[in-house]
Amino acid sequence: MITKVTIAWLPIQINLINTLLVNELREELQNLKGDHTKKGVKTCRHCILRYKKSKKILNIFIGDLNLVSGNFEQSTFAELYENWPRMMLDQKKSGISFSIQHYVDRQASGVGDICGKITFLSITQDVGIFKNNIMVHMCPSFPENTENDNSQSNIHGNAQSFLEFYPTIPADNNFLMNLDDNFWKYFREQEKKHFEAPDYFDSKSDLSIKKESQIEQESQSFDKMKAYILLMRKKNTLKELLKDFEVGTGARDYEINRFLLKANEISINLPTPRDITTILNVSIH
């Protein structure tokens, strides 16, 4: 009987301990909040914990880093190349390339083939105490022979279909150097740029108009090996604790998770009408 009573009390005890822990954490966070309002504090513990501190940084690169950055050898990413002599890597192969081919009697017919290529893709995840952010950069896909061969014909004399993807937002030139320890700062800058809407009630200054036109020009002049931001995801974690922890004008920022995915154009070109039927045939089979 005594055992039963103990078991019955156990969940209540656990709840009590949890509540005490949460209250303790809340008090600690309130102390840190004091750091933020104090003048002369250079390293604000509130800001470090809220934005900077990372528990895990994950970087997945698909493609050769040499194609997007000339000075990545100064970063820890260079260690990824330690076991590979440069000669082994073929830059023409860089990135993701896929082809869907139609075979007839064990031979590639060349009709209805679809090819696609993304020269470079990077996925960065930053997991902190109050954050779980993701950012994806990419260099767009281009048909390999577009510049030299406008007919886009393969060795069979048949034209190939290309799946093309064009993102919108140009990334910084040295974005690769920002994907390691400085990622939090880079993400914060991009967050302010793309997530926080400008105040349209204020009259626009000449400087902001100039900046906008510059961004428009940059997006129009498409550079082959220039990297673009494809996706951004900002996710706040432990929102209940953040509730009392936030300070300043963006005090309700903790409530909102944000997601951005921008593509200028996604297209597939089919050179001949019979390609449509062949592609459908491959898909159905």
Please list every residue from 168 through 197 that binds another protein, using CB under 8 A. 180-181
Neighbours of 108 (CB within 10 A): 15
CB of 216 to another protein, least distance (A): 34
Instruction: Quote the CA–CA distance of 112 and 102 in Å, as a whole number.
Output: 6
Does residue number 28 form part of the binding site for another protein (CB under 8 A)?
A: no
User: Exactly one of 33, 36, 102, 262 binds another protein (CB under 8 A); which one?
Assistant: 102
User: Exactly one of 29, 46, 51, 65 binds another protein (CB under 8 A); which one?
Assistant: 65
Residues in contact with another protein, counted by CB under 8 A, come to a total of 48
Does residue number 264 form part of the binding site for another protein (CB under 8 A)?
A: no
User: Exactly one of 29, 50, 63, 275 binds another protein (CB under 8 A); which one?
Assistant: 63
User: Exactly one of 15, 23, 37, 76 binds another protein (CB under 8 A); which one?
Assistant: 76
Long-range interactions of 273-281: CB distance < 8 A, separation 24+: 274/111, 274/112, 275/111, 275/112, 275/159, 275/161, 277/112, 278/102, 278/109, 278/111, 278/112, 279/100, 279/112, 279/114, 279/161, 281/102, 281/112
What 3-state class would DSSP assign to 281?
helix
CA Rg value for the chain: 26
135: left (phi over 0), alpha (psi -120 to 50) or beta: beta
DSSP class of residue 79 equals G
Length of the chain: 285
CB of 211 to another protein, least distance (A): 31
Taking the least distance from each CB to another protein, the nearer of 105 and 199 is 105
Cα 258–Cα 220–Cα 159 angle in degrees, nearest 5:
100
What 3-state class would DSSP assign to 5?
helix
User: Exactly one of 38, 79, 87, 203 binds another protein (CB under 8 A); which one?
Assistant: 79
**Residue type at 91 in one-letter notation:** Q
User: Exactly one of 50, 51, 69, 95 binds another protein (CB under 8 A); which one?
Assistant: 95
Does residue number 236 form part of the binding site for another protein (CB under 8 A)?
A: no
Does residue number 41 form part of the binding site for another protein (CB under 8 A)?
A: no
Compute, in degrees rounded to 10, the torsion defined by CA atoms 63, 64, 69, 71: 140
Taking the least distance from each CB to another protein, the nearer of 73 and 216 is 73
Does residue number 57 form part of the binding site for another protein (CB under 8 A)?
A: yes
CB of 285 to another protein, least distance (A): 5
The residue ranges that bind another protein (CB under 8 A) are: 43, 45, 48, 52-65, 76-77, 79-81, 83-84, 89-90, 93-103, 106-108, 155-156, 180-181, 281-282, 284-285
